[in-house]
Amino acid sequence: MNLAQLLNEVNKNTEAYNLAKDVYEFQMKKLGNSHIDTIYSQQILARILTDLQRTEEAINLAKLAVQYSQKFIAQGLRSSEFVKSYFTLAKIYQKNGQYQLAIDNFLEIIDNNLVNQDSVNYAVLISSTAKLYDEINDFENAQKYYIC
């Protein structure tokens, strides 16, 4: 999956997609849909699909990653991969101009304390949330998150 990410970063999106899809399908067969590695692959594949302008497929796959992650989170497991599933879905919504849906996913992470407030990831999350509120001209909420 790392190679697929690298290919995507250098705009070899179709090659990245083909590789990521093969890895994802292999993992689904061998590990199952709800394995942490499969969830990770769902996120990577969703990001690649977004870059290929296949937004609906990307959203559906990212939603699937969130769905499987929720089962682990409900059990008290707090792997970063589970949190990233929400972040990935939020970023796809943001790229697609669906700002409120993106905010909802960021708030899911914040409101459920899924990220340690002392981590760098929390700062990125808060900043991303504030910027999204700015995008929809909700300056009152944006200010709340800029102040955090």
| pLDDT on residue 80 | 80
| pLDDT on residue 113 | 87
3-state secondary structure 78-119: CCHHHHHHHHHHHHHHHHCCCHHHHHHHHHHHHHCCCCCCCC
| pLDDT on residue 148 | 62
Q: What is the DSSP letter of 32?
A: -
Q: What is the pLDDT along the chain (148 residues), one digit of tens a residue?
A: 899 999 999 999 999 999 999 999 999 999 998 899 999 999 999 999 999 999 999 999 999 999 999 888 888 877 787 889 999 999 999 999 999 999 999 999 999 888 888 888 899 999 999 999 999 999 999 999 987 6
